Amino acid sequence: MRLIVRQDYEEVASYVAYYVKERINQFQPTPERPFVLGLATGSSPILVYHKLVDFYAAGQVSFENVVTFNTDEYVGLPKDHPQSYHTFMWNHLFKHVNIKKENVHILDGNANNLDEECRKFEAEIAKLGGIELFLGGIGPDGHIAFNEPGSSLTSRTRVKTLAYETIIANARFFGGDISRVPKLALTVGVATVMDAREVMIVITGAHKSLALAKCVEEGVNHMWTVSAIQMHPKGLIVCDEDATLELHVKTVKYFKSIEHVHHSIIGKHNLGLQGNLLRNMVDTNQAAKRRRRLMLQSLLNDEDEKLEDEEEDEAQKAATAAVEEAGKKRKRSNSTYWEEKSALLDVNP
């Protein structure tokens, strides 16, 4: 399991969105071999989705041959309800990119037979050969999707009763009124998530720091369902500094040092996206040699020096500028949406 620590939510979202973009591009999906992506809802991935929209607007990624499966949906909430996860996904991501409607899979919380709906969902995942990359978030109690504390670690997609803590946490989306929050949901299981070939979990904020500590420093526990990621061969957690508050200082330094050594000693150009070595450690690149020399000097002097990365080439600068411009356009176009949503919450307290 890898743990990547970034300064704040903005940096976390940038890292995750770039990672997803690169995984899609490196996979080179086709209609016959689509990239199957698991997606979460809630507050954790919102900025990630916005940055993916920016990458798409800048021409740096296409969703034409991407198939998605969402983690969960409330039971009994109409699809067009402002707080349904159907609405959430279309507003934050799908309607802004070129994904095909038939490639979007979101559980139907209004199906006549909910158990059958869950079985069909699992069958569709299997039909496509499984999920390539699963992007998830967690709640303060460490639940992944709606797999609340005590959920079986071998669970599959099913109907789930929401914990009271989750209902309280989600009340902010329903005008602060917990009576309006659905009490049941359809959710993928822990095993459904862990069957993905790669799992990436976003954890940000001090209110989730205990869950991160339980996940990283303690054993696998069904009371903290996200801890199942410890057993995954390609598990990745991306968090901000606030989320590390309950971790031991030594733990944080350990994971940061791994990333530092990878970049400074091995060199970014020798590393794949998933941390794998791309080629033999024979490097004639002078800049990489300089990084290694400075790294060793820093270790010998016991100094906490930061090494400067090589300057971006002109193509990378142009690509970055294009993404930033796309982000500015998106923010301008979304301003009206957020104003209307705020007004709706004020009218319907």
| Catalytic annotation, pick one of 117, 132, 141, 195 | 141
Average pLDDT over residues 226-248: 98
Check whether 121 has a pLDDT greater than 90. Answer: yes
pLDDT tens digits, 291-324: 666 666 665 665 444 444 555 566 667 777 778 8
Which H helix or E strand runs over 161? Answer: strand 158-161
User: Rounded to an integer, what distance in angstroms lies between the CA atom of residue 129 and that of residue 134?
Assistant: 14
pLDDT at 260 (0 to 100): 82
Mean pLDDT of the 159-174 span = 90
**Cα 92 from Cα 82, distance rounded (Å):** 12
Per the annotation, the verdict on 72 as an active-site residue is yes
For the cut 50, the answer to whether the pLDDT of residue 69 exceeds it is yes
**Is there a catalytic annotation at residue 312?**
no
Per-residue pLDDT tens over the stretch 178-187: 999 999 999 9
161 compared with 314, residue with greater pLDDT: 161
pLDDT at 77 over 70: yes
pLDDT at 35: 98
Quote the CA–CA distance of 344 and 349 in Å, as a whole number: 9
10 Å Cβ neighbour count for 341? Answer: 12
Q: Say if residue 154's pLDDT is above 70.
A: yes
Instruction: Specify the pLDDT at position 289.
Output: 63
- Alpha-carbon span 229 to 218, nearest angstrom: 12
Kindly report the pTM of this predicted structure.
Answer: 0.81
pLDDT score for 173:
87
309 is catalytic: no
- Residues with Cβ < 8 Å from 195, sequence gap 6 or more? 125, 130, 131
Domain 2-247 belongs to what topology? Rossmann fold (3.40.50)
Domain residue limits, the chain = 2-247, 258-312
Q: Mean pLDDT over all residues of the chain? A: 87
% residues pLDDT > 90 (the chain):
70
Higher pLDDT, 314 or 95: 95
pLDDT band at 208 (very low <50, low <70, confident <90, very high): very high
pLDDT of 303 reads 47
What proportion of the chain, given as a percentage, has pLDDT over 70? Answer: 79
> For residue 13, what are its two tokens?
């979202």
For residue 193, what are its two tokens?
A: 């998530």
- Tokens linked to 208: 């989730």
What is the band of 277 on the pLDDT scale with cuts at 50, 70, 90? low
Residue 170 — pLDDT band, cuts 50, 70, 90? confident
Annotation says 92 is catalytic: no
